[in-house]
């Protein structure tokens, strides 16, 4: 793109100098890049981690992010702030629920956030919960309609919030505003200097003097909108990046502006949305529709495949974390590119059994065939697309050897000599594990197959030739090592043990075979492998590493290697390269320094590949002292051994502690120590602790180990879960300790949490003091009681003689009492008999009285009939007199009084109870109770009382109400219960029920 005419005329005198500068720069740049290539290690595609709505569970459009001093990440999206500690996502909303467009962490570690008409801070309280505190009240009421806050900076002791309409600078709880003449579209801080852009161009703002200086006019950059201002290539230089993709270099001291390059073609509709300069010196540009563009420090394009694998094409912002990861904030999701990770992926989608670097190319033996890479001298950055399968070598490849200047591949289909993408097959042997060079015979090689050994030779004219099979040995020969003795070879079989074979001088047949299983010192015939280490032949087993002692014909533990690995690890591979010894054991790989007296096993960097190696055929291919290639069943990976996992200290953080109660979970304060522990009630049924290690380079593969003092005897196994729950803890003091590691070998300092389960009240200190006092008092009382008892015993002894003297008197008195008791009993029996007799007499008297009155009633009725029939007045008069006498006799209550007095004497207790329970009963009602108690019928009662049966029924009905009886209750039974004596003893059975009313 050409500059405008005015600018061109202004710069014309400098054209020759600029051209000369450009040529010098390009020469220097090319030399620098050549040097970088010479020293660069082999690298693949850095790992990219995708975060979708499934992980953060909020809106997927992200605008901004920052990172606090502990490594916790803060993201701003349309739902507010999303906070990620490496394990859990937490959300914080603004008071008006607007989106957060800007975030920034200050030098003091405070998190500042800006949204729509809102600005403030995000902090974590003592319980681990995040909260937002607004600072909008620091602005004048007329300045609070600020709309969106797009950027936040810390400069010259101020926190600066950029909106389109103004810059807001806050310091010491005071705010000043700098309004824009048009619109502040961008701002940044470089070397504690604030820069802002508006329609006029790029400006420098001094907050101390409130001076605004115009540095670059808009027309000098063709009116293109500035999207980023970054430190330039040189020390005193700024790099201006515009939305259409133009790069300008601005000299700060001389204020000279020069067009540098354009990264987006003029015809493209793509635009730059954001840009950052990483700590590596590389530039990363986010675009509107083409994801991320990567430039090296000299401005050359990097074709990094990771940036092509983003979730979305539109990049809204870029951020480099403290660990050096590049975070890409997308219109739909988040991506983290681990550009500084010591491990990169070179090749995927096949299982790797061997890899070798020869002739500027990497060769791979896989389950799908043989692959070869492009040349890596000019560009050591490799991806899967840089590997090509060699046509015709499909099928299982096992290993490579480099003999006579040729790459020799051992394949399921035979032996192949490879040069570039061409190859030829040697002989017709199939099922070849490896090729072993015979040291005692030049140009002799043993072809190790599934079923024995073959001899292969080399001639400069004829090349490699397979001669014949060695007779006398047909076992699989994958693991084979040549002995120091001529013609002697050790062969290990995974299931059959160890073979020691001797080959004749012509290498035609096997002269002898010695077979070792679990005798001669070997613990077992299974899983035995043989290797050379420090010029010794060593045998790895399930129970340690052994060497062979020829004079004793016995296998003995290797002193040094057994001390290094112990006897519990199943070491399956040992490989020396330079000063390092590489090993594979228990699904892990690593190395140690061979000459160290007390070597440490370095495995942390390779833990992420644990369990993915091809067992007993682990692919470990050192390239140089700083780079190693490793093949697994998922692909090929390159490791940078210069990576220092402890370069930046990290710590484990306890994020939340809570316990269950009847009302739900209760969160505890996080600040505890040995003097101020968190106290929990004794009814606590479960304590849950959440933790994380936010400062790790590798956030994806973090493991934790924990220990609860006074409960656990040792640290737990490493686990992926970032939470631990303890249930039913006994009262007492506890210290929870947790530490973290990543599968890159990073380790974090352990975190501690002090807690105490309070005892039940009767187990408290005060209770124990009370128990002590009570115990002392009890002892005092017991001592006094013992003394009193001694005195009582003495008195008892003296009183026993007195008692003995009284015994006879008591016996005599008891005898008299028994006699009196017998007499009383006899009197009682007589009285009871008398009562029974009187009751019978009373019953008889009553029945006679009833019969008598019935007879009189009958006579009265007959006399009435006679009186009606008699015509004589005199006779009728006499009959009338006779009826009156009978009526008088029937109405006479003297017989009733006699009955009542006798009944009350016989049933005194009944009448006493009845009068006590119902004192308001009349004499007639008491009389009716007596008749009912005797089970007389209504007719009999009517005859005695000289009333009608209807009258008796009415009287009984009223009596039931006075006695508060229900209709269903039996009156006779109720009255019978009032008597303290048994009704049966008086001849009353009480079976008759009351008549229905």
The DSSP line for 74-135 is: EEEETTEEEEE-SS-EEEE--TT---EEEEEE-TTS-EEEEEBTEEEEEEE-TTS-EEEEE-
List, in order of start, the domains of the chain with CATH numbers: 61-220 (2.130.10.10), 526-620 (no CATH), 653-760 (2.60.40.10), 790-986 (no CATH)
Is residue 592 a contact partner of residue 599, using CB atoms and an 8 Å limit? yes
Give the CA diameter of the chain: 185
CA–CA gap between residue 887 and residue 318 (Å, rounded)? 129
Cβ(645)–Cβ(744) below 8 Å: yes
Distances in whole angstroms, Cα of residue 978 to Cα of each of 224, 357, 425, 902, 988 = 116, 117, 124, 18, 14
DSSP labels for 316-355? EEEEE-TTSPEEEEETTEEEEE-TT-SEEEEEESS-EEEE
Residue 227: what are its φ and ψ, rounded to 5°? -110, -15
The edge-to-edge listing of strands for the beta sheet with 100-105 is 100-105, 111-115, 118-124, 130-134
Coil/strand/helix, residue 356? strand
Please state, in angstroms and rounded to a whole number, the distance separating the CA atoms of residues 843 and 848: 9
Report the C-alpha gap between 624 and 319 in whole angstroms: 33
Cβ atoms of 948 and 908 closer than 8 Å: no
Low-confidence ranges of the chain (pLDDT < 50): 1-39, 980-997
Backbone angles phi, psi at 98, to 5 degrees: -85, 170
Record the tokens describing residue 691, joined without a space: 């933790």
Distance CA 945, CA 224 (A): 131
Q: In what order do the strands lie in the sheet with 211-217?
A: 186-189, 194-198, 201-206, 211-217
681 HSE (CA, 13 A, CB side):
8
pLDDT at 844: 64
Q: Output the CA angle 592-597-603, nearest 5 degrees.
A: 20
Distance CA 535, CA 514 (A): 22
Please say whether the beta carbons of 591 and 582 come within 8 A.
yes
Residues 69, 72, 76, 81, CA torsion sign? negative
Q: Is 45 exposed, middle or buried (0-12, 13-18, 19+ CB in 10 A)?
A: buried
The pLDDT, as a whole number, for residue 925 is 81
Q: What is the pTM assigned to this prediction?
A: 0.69
What is residue 14's predicted lDDT score, i.e. its pLDDT? 36
Report CA-CA distances (Å) from 793 to 668, 785, 789.
63, 12, 6
Q: How far apart are CA 160 and CA 175, in angstroms?
A: 9
Strand order in the sheet with 326-330: 48-51, 333-337, 326-330, 315-320
């Amino acid at each position: 793109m050409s500059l405008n005419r005015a600018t061109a005329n202004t710069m014309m005198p400098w054209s020759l100098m600029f051209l000369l500068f450009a040529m010098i720069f390009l020469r220097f740049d090319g030399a620098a890049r050549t040097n970088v290539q010479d020293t660069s290690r082999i690298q693949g595609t850095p790992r990219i981690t995708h975060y979708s709505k499934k992980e953060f569970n909020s809106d997927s459009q992200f605008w901004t992010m920052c990172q606090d001093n502990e490594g916790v990440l803060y993201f701003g999206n349309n739902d507010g702030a999303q906070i990620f500690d490496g394990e859990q996502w937490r959300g914080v909303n603004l008071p008006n629920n607007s989106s957060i467009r800007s975030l920034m962490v200050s030098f003091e570690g405070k998190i500042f956030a800006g949204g729509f008409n809102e600005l403030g801070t995000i902090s974590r309280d003592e319980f681990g919960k995040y909260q937002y505190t607004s600072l909008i009240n620091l602005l004048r009421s007329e300045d609070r309609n600020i709309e969106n806050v797009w950027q936040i900076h810390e400069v010259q002791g101020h926190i600066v919030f950029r909106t389109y309409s103004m810059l807001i600078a806050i310091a010491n709880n005071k705010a000043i505003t700098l309004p824009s003449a048009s619109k502040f579209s961008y701002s940044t801080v470089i070397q504690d200097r604030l820069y802002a852009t508006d329609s006029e161009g790029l400006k420098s703002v001094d907050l101390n003097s409130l001076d605004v200086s115009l540095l670059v006019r808009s027309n000098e950059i063709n009116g293109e909108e500035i999207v980023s201002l970054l430190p330039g290539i040189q020390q005193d230089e700024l790099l201006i990046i515009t939305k259409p993709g133009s790069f300008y270099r601005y000299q700060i001291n001389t204020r000279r502006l020069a067009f540098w390059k354009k990264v987006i073609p003029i015809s493209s509709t793509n635009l730059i949305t954001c840009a950052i300069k990483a700590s590596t010196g590389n530039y990363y540009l986010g675009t509107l529709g083409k994801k991320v563009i990567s430039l090296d420090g000299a401005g050359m394009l990097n074709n990094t495949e990771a940036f092509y694998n983003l979730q979305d094409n539109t990049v809204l912002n870029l951020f480099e974390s403290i660990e050096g990861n590049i975070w890409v904030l997308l219109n739909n999701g988040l991506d983290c590119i681990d550009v500084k990770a010591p491990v990169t992926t070179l090749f995927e989608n096949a299982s790797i059994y061997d890899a070798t670097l020869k002739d500027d190319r990497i060769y791979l033996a896989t389950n799908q065939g043989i692959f070869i890479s492009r040349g890596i001298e000019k560009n050591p950055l490799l991806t899967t697309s840089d590997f090509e399968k060699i046509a015709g070598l499909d099928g299982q490849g096992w290993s490579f050897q480099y003999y006579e200047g040729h790459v020799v591949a051992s394949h399921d289909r035979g032996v192949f000599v490879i040069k570039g993408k061409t190859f030829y097959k040697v002989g017709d042997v199939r099922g070849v594990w490896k090729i072993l060079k015979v040291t005692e015979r030049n140009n002799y090689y043993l072809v190790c197959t599934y079923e024995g050994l073959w001899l292969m030779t080399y001639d400069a004219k004829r090349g490699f030739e397979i001669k014949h099979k060695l007779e006398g040995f047909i076992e699989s020969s994958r693991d084979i090592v040549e002995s120091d003795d001529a013609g002697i070879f050790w062969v290990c079989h995974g299931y059959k043990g160890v073979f020691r074979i001797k080959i004749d001088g012509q290498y035609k047949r096997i002269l002898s075979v010695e077979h070792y299983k679990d005798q001669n010192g070997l613990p077992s015939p299974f899983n035995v492998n043989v290797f050379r280490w420090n010029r010794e032949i060593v045998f790895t087993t399930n129970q340690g590493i052994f060497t062979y002692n020829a004079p004793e014909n016995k296998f003995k533990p290797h002193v040094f290697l057994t001390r290094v690995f112990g006897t519990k690890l199943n070491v399956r591979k040992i490989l020396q390269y330079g000063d390092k010894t590489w090993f594979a054991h228990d699904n892990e790989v690593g190395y140690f320094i061979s000459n160290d007296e007390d070597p440490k096993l370095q495995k942390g960097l390779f833990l992420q590949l644990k369990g993915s190696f091809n067992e007993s055929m682990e692919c470990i291919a050192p390239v140089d002292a700083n780079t190693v290639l490793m093949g697994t069943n998922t692909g090929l990976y390159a490791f940078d051994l210069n990576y220092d996992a402890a370069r930046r200290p990290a710590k484990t953080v306890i994020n939340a502690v809570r316990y269950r109660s009847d009302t739900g979970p209760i969160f505890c304060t996080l600040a505890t120590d040995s003097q101020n522990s968190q106290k929990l009630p004794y009814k606590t049924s479960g304590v849950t602790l959440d933790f994380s290690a936010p400062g790790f380079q590798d956030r994806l593969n973090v493991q934790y180990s924990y220990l609860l003092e006074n409960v656990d005897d040792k640290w737990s196994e490493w686990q992926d879960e970032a939470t631990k729950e303890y249930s039913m803890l006994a009262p007492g003091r506890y210290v929870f300790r947790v530490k973290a590691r990543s599968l890159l070998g990073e380790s974090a300092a352990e975190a501690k949490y002090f807690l105490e389960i309070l005892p039940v009240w009767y187990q408290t200190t005060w209770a124990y003091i009370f128990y002590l006092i009570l115990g002392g008092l009890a002892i005092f009382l017991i001592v006094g009681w013992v003394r009193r008892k001694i005195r009582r015993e003495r008195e008892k002894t003296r009183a026993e003689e007195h008692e003995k003297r009284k015994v006879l008197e008591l016996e005599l008195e008891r005898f008299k009492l028994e006699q009196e008791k017998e007499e009383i009993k006899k009197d009682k029996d007589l009285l009871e008999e008398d009562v029974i007799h009187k009751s019978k007499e009373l019953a008889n008297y009553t029945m006679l009285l009833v019969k008598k009155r019935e007879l009189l009633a009958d006579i009265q009725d007959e006399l009435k009939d006679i009186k009606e029939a008699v015509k004589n007045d005199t006779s009728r008069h006499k009959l009338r007199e006779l009826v009156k006498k009978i009526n008088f006799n029937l109405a006479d209550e003297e017989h009733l009084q006699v009955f009542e007095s006798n009944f009350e004497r016989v049933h005194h207790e009944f009448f006493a109870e009845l009068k006590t329970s119902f004192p308001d009963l009349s004499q007639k009602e008491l009389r009716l109770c007596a008749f009912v108690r005797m089970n007389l019928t209504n007719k009999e009662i009517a005859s005695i009382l000289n009333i009608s049966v209807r009258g008796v029924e009415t009287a009984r009905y009223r009596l039931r109400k006075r006695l508060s009886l229900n209709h269903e209750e039996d009156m006779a039974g109720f009255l019978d219960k009032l008597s303290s004596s048994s009704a049966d003893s008086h001849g009353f059975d009480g079976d008759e029920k009351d008549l229905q009313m």
